[in-house]
Amino acid sequence: MSLLEALAGVPNAAEPLPWLLTCGQPSADQLEAAGEAGVRTVIDLRDPMEARPFDEPSTLERLGITYHNIPVNVGALDDATLGQVLEVVRGAAGQPTMLHCASANRVGGALLPYFILDQGLDEQAAVDAAMRVGLRSAELLEWGLDYARRHRA
């Protein structure tokens, strides 16, 4: 089973890079399938206080998958949060990794600077890639683009 096939039925499931799965909230069964397909790291952008149908950290611990929770909250977007997301994504680069929030909207915004700074995409190509992942918010779009513009070498 491919990485993307493991996420059948997950909202906005995508594979923007050969090692990176992005999506909305997966179920416990979908996380198990992703683990069987090789996912070793899950990065969750949801706030721990958001309602969830199951205990994701415990499920991933049982599966032997590394779990990172970096809450991205619209209205409280800052460089520190985006820096944490990028650090974990960069550290996982090349290894099967899942990045998710509830719908993949926050995922798209958080990946914009990665697409620009690390993958070398121009802004329009990065925006297109982020929208394919699930980005829909103008605020998250500006957050990611602003960060990338200020952190270019």
Residues 120, 47, 25, 36, CA torsion sign: positive
- For residue 16, the SS3 value is strand
pLDDT category of residue 79 using cuts at 50, 70 and 90: very high
pTM of the shown model = 0.96
Domains of the chain: 5-151 (3.90.190.10)
Question: Confidence band (pLDDT; 50, 70, 90) for 1?
Answer: confident
Contacts of 62 (CB under 8 A, 6+ apart): none
Q: What is the mean pLDDT of the chain?
A: 96
Residue 21 near residue 97, CB atoms below 8 Å: yes
Mean pLDDT confidence for 123-148:
98
Q: What percent of the chain has pLDDT over 90?
A: 94
